[in-house]
Structure 1
């Protein structure tokens, strides 16, 4: 094996290329063995060669040459001129009055700046781009699947058309056969009558020929001729055949009759991605664990709440849930036992319109008729917000501890989302960039892990998602085909640790799972019956409140 070309060999001297390297010239950046040091010195006596042990290589600063004095090296740096300067530049007052700094200090500052930028690239920017690339790859796979589903839908619709066309063709052909048989039967009857008459005429001819040759007068006188009967020629029967007049096929009209294919688009959302920093120490925290959706979600437990109609459910913790229905109580249940732990009656005696749980574990509820939002602390009810000209409907607690409240104007003509810190209004979200209303009638609200605000707009048949600043990101209007072929009616909403958005589809008895950018992922069925309120516990288990049968189902849908 050639030691000069072997990748497994040790470093060799750059001059002789055989001896093991021992020294290094920090001036020329050349590796040397001890025997070649002298030769390297004598090769260029104009340079101040700095020879160090190989392990200490690059430890000597390599000062830049001065642009004004070619034989000098610069050990200072002029901050005003932003250039290195030598001792002659200083002696000749070329930078008189300027702020000068030791070039090694500038070097250290530059290295520190480069190190910070390198760390930002390595720990923040590159992982972000890698995550975006992964997201785009996943989106491509999803697009491939969605277009495949679209082609399958069109094919099935075409097959349905073929079946209907075949039915129509067979019906028309049956009508043709029926008309043909009717006319053939009529003609056959006519032909049979003609043949009988022809036979009778033949018999008459034969009878006449017999008597013509006789000389018996009596026989001749007895012949009664029927010629006059046969002189009445029968009517001619002329069949009138039907005609098929095909409608001219107009391509554009046929296209419209078959179905309309909406246009595709690629939108760019500058708020779609955010920088992600890799956490490198336990003290700094850790990124959320990546979880996969189960192929088949499974029901873990079912809790019977006893309400006439059940509306909302909220996780107090991983052991308790709170529910509301068509009365003025909020009931707490044990998840494992399914038993009622306590009941809390609203302060006004009205039905609670919605419930939520704060970061500290306190229960919050809205009172539509009383125009208030209240918090339950230590079983005592404290009014937090009181509205005028507006009525609170639904509420959620954010990661920052704020409350997001959906409210409607008197008369239910307008709807908006308002952010509160305590009793102080911080933000109002009502219109898009074009001044149009974002919500027809917001029903339930949730904040995603990326701080998007997600609203189930039942009346509009859409999930409306805006970013933290209140700018519209997208509207999700359901997935085709729907499980029960009913219109999409989102009424409950929640989000999980993976930034999935889960919304209860009341009409189709299922829950839709979409990603943070509004792409459909899958349905959760699990024999749901008129699902209404949703919530997620810390382990990403889903709780679904069934309006019709008053039960809460705990469903596992992620690994």
Structure 2
């Protein structure tokens, strides 16, 4: 390329060293190079290069014509004004400005454009596509959450309707009872008056007969009763009941129903760092997640008299404390697929006995078919193998005995702490408090197929019991009353074991009520099992409860030394004999693990055929 300030007879020199004739040309940088300078030029790794023999270079760009001096070309570039200029412009308006060769400037500008193109193609555009995917995912998840909130409001409204109906029916019943009492008093008064009228009629007839007979004997023996009848019967005064409706304050009613947390919308900057051409392909994006990793933020639930309400969850939290929104769908196909049919064995077989070392052993939960978590009469929970070896130990944060334990589908331990009213997750031996209750005491817990937690709990005053579903720390469902507003579970007692069946029924062993209470996934009452009518020394007292792959319900009849096996509809199938059974669980192979309260041992029992 001919230097614009050299004559046609000049030797073409390297633009870098300006001493040696050129041999090559960098088409990216638009610079001519000698052999020695090529190597130095390629060492600059901050940009890409394309060096070709000078004769094979692309055609030289045409110099732009000067817009003010049409007979001139713009050979120079004014750094101050940032425009190409011709020689006449320099002496006219650009005197004293910093000038450079327009083609060199073209080279640097070309490099800048190339860098912009590379950054746009490899960093910025892919990030926009990724962000668009994330936003689309968030939109879908948020739409689902708003749908849950709507359904939660509907279901909470249904609870209110049922309660109002129950109140109205109770008042109607009270009115009928008052009317019955009032009518009974009036009927009695009517009977007394009728009797007196009958007597008066007889007395009048007798007097007339005596007077007509003119019989001295009858007249002399007559005794008057007029004074008796002059005392008229007492008048019954009744103050009729009246109905005094309370004035409905819409604002107070809305507050009692529950509230939504305010919608909070914030923005944060996406960031990336351009390090070098090699790093272009993998810039770091601040807090950027893949669409699969993006989740919708928790939504603070409505607080409500009962659906939500209790317990109050700290940091809440989320739908939830709404009454009973639809239950989160199951993740695992295992919860819906049909397992192989396994008939009951004619004679269950005891496979193993594990000595746990506890004086009193209460609960067991399977981590695998070889390892179980146990809870006894102290603050330590132990993971044991079949040889009774302690593989891991966890102490409660409160220092008091835990109440219920379960193992999640991810293999993490969950326990309830009655002393401080918490539900806790143990992950990598670190205890995380998931839920903190106020006014309620958590009892037993089970991990659902949806990865939710189902917790039984009693109110502090011992008058109420219920089951609450949690998705993480969010309360998503409360199960407490049937369709008529009657309590599903007995009050004032601690023993209510819980398990979710394969058909997603929720099964509670209610010892005080002497019954197993089963509701469906939505919390609607299905049936109540109160024991088989066989003769027993003691009444049916269910303690531990579990379910298996066949949707059987198994519950420990503690004082009768039996385990009842029911089908999913509550029909009795058979007994398994066991000495003082207490806590139950079933592993993935449908082996039954039973805690024997006073022996401190876990018994492993096979009760299903492994092959048909």
TM range (shorter): 0.5 to 0.7
Query: Is the 8 Å Cα contact of residues 450 and 499 (structure 1) preserved in structure 2?
Result: no
TM-score, normalised via structure 2 length: 0.49
Q: Does 1:172 align with 2:185?
A: yes
How has the CA–CA distance of structure 1 residues 450 and 373 changed in structure 2, closer, same or farther, with 3 Å as cutoff? same
Residue matched to 2:563: 551
1:398 to 408, 415, 418: 408
> What do residues 59-90 of structure 1 show as CA deviations (whole Å, max 9, x unaligned)?
xxxxxxxxxx9xxxxxxxxxxxxxxx9999x9
* Distance change >3 Å, CA 414–CA 136, structure 1 → 2: closer
- How do residues 124-523 of structure 1 correspond to structure 2 at under 5 angstroms? 124-129=137-142, 131-132=144-145, 135=148, 139=152, 142=155, 146=159, 149-150=162-163, 153-154=166-167, 156-157=169-170, 160-161=173-174, 163-200=176-213, 235=226, 237-252=229-244, 265-268=257-260, 269-270=299-300, 271-272=317-318, 287-288=331-332, 336-337=345-346, 339-348=348-357, 350-359=359-368, 361-368=370-377, 371-382=379-390, 384-385=392-393, 387=395, 389-407=399-417, 416-421=422-427, 424-428=429-433, 431-432=436-437, 436=438, 439=441, 442-448=442-448, 452-458=452-458, 461-463=465-467, 468=472, 476-479=479-482, 480-482=484-486, 486-487=490-491, 491-495=496-500, 502-508=507-513, 509-513=515-519, 520-523=523-526
Is 1:113 equivalent to 2:127 in the alignment? yes
SS at match of 2:360: coil
CA deviations 1:210-250 (Å, max 9, x no partner) are: xxxxxxxxxxxxxxxx9x989x9985642513323221434
Aligned residues of 2:500 and 2:506 also touching (Cα < 8 A): yes
Please state how far the C-alpha of 1:102 moved relative to its aligned partner: 3.5
For residues 106-136 of structure 1, what are the alpha-carbon distances to aligned partners after superposition, in whole Å with 9 as ceiling and x for unaligned?
A: 26755433433443355x3344345446645
Q: 1:377 to 1:448 in 2, by over 3 A?
A: same
**Aligned 8 A contact 2:500 2:547 in 1:** yes
Distance 1:234 1:377 in 2: 99
Bigger drift between 397-406 and 483-492 goes to: 483-492
Question: 2-side partners of 1:356 and 1:262: how far apart?
Answer: 43
How big is each residue's C-alpha offset from its partner over 1:260-287, in whole Å with a ceiling of 9 and x where there is no partner?
x99951344435469xxxxxxxxxxx95
- String of CA shifts for 1:429-477, please: whole Å, max 9, x gaps: 6845xxx5752xx4322234565544323556233555645x7777654
TM-superposed CA distance for 1:366, in Å, is: 1.6
User: 1-side partners of 2:548 and 2:526: how far apart?
Assistant: 19
* 2:568 alignment partner, SS class: strand
CA distance 1:547–1:156, shift in 2 (3 Å): farther
| Inter-partner Cα distance in structure 1 for 2:549 and 2:83 | 65
**1:455 to 1:486, Cα distance in 2 relative to 1, 3 A:** closer
TM-score w.r.t. the length of structure 1 is 0.52
Structure 1 contact 488–505 (Cα < 8 Å) conserved: no
Once residues 127 and 519 of structure 2 are traced to their aligned partners in structure 1, the CA distance between those partners, rounded to angstroms, is: 44
From the superposition, tell whether residues 496 and 272 of structure 1 become closer, same or farther in structure 2 (CA, over 3 Å): farther
Q: How many residues align?
A: 381
| Distance of 2:525 and 2:206 partners within structure 1 | 75
Tell whether the 8 Å contact from 1:502 to 1:511 is kept in structure 2 after alignment: yes
Gaps of 5+ in 1: 1-68, 70-84, 205-225, 256-260, 275-285, 293-316, 321-333
Going from structure 1 to structure 2, the CA distance change for 1:431 and 1:545 (only over 3 Å counts) comes to same
Q: Against the structure 1 CA distance between its residues 121 and 419, is the aligned structure 2 distance closer, same or farther, given a 3 Å change threshold?
A: closer
**Deviation of 1:353 (Å):** 1.1
**Aligned mates of 1:163, 1:156 — CA distance in 2:** 11
Q: CA deviation at 1:543?
A: 3.4
Q: Retained in 2: the 8 A contact 1:418–1:426?
A: yes
Could you say if the C-alpha distance between residues 343 and 351 of structure 1 is closer, same or farther in structure 2, counting changes exceeding 3 Å? farther
Name 1:54's counterpart in structure 2: none
Deviations 1:120-175 (A, max 9, x none): 355x3344345446645755774576566556645654564455345324422320
Task: State the secondary structure of the residue aligned to 1:457.
Answer: strand
> Compared with structure 1, are the counterparts of its residues 394 and 526 closer, same or farther at alpha carbon in structure 2 (3 Å cutoff)?
closer
Q: 1:296-332: per-residue Cα shift (whole Å, max 9, x none)?
A: xxxxxxxxxxxxxxxxxxxxx9999xxxxxxxxxxxx
Q: Is the 8 A contact 2:488 2:517 kept in 1?
A: no
For the 8 Å contact 2:446–2:500, the answer to whether it is kept is yes
In 2, the alpha carbon distance for the partners of 1:157 and 1:498 equals 36
Quick one: distance in 2 between partners of 1:108 and 1:384? 49
The DSSP-based 3-state class of the residue aligned with 1:188 is helix
CA shift, 1:354, in A, is 0.4
Q: Secondary structure at the match of 2:526?
A: strand
CA distance in 2, matches of 1:138, 1:175: 55
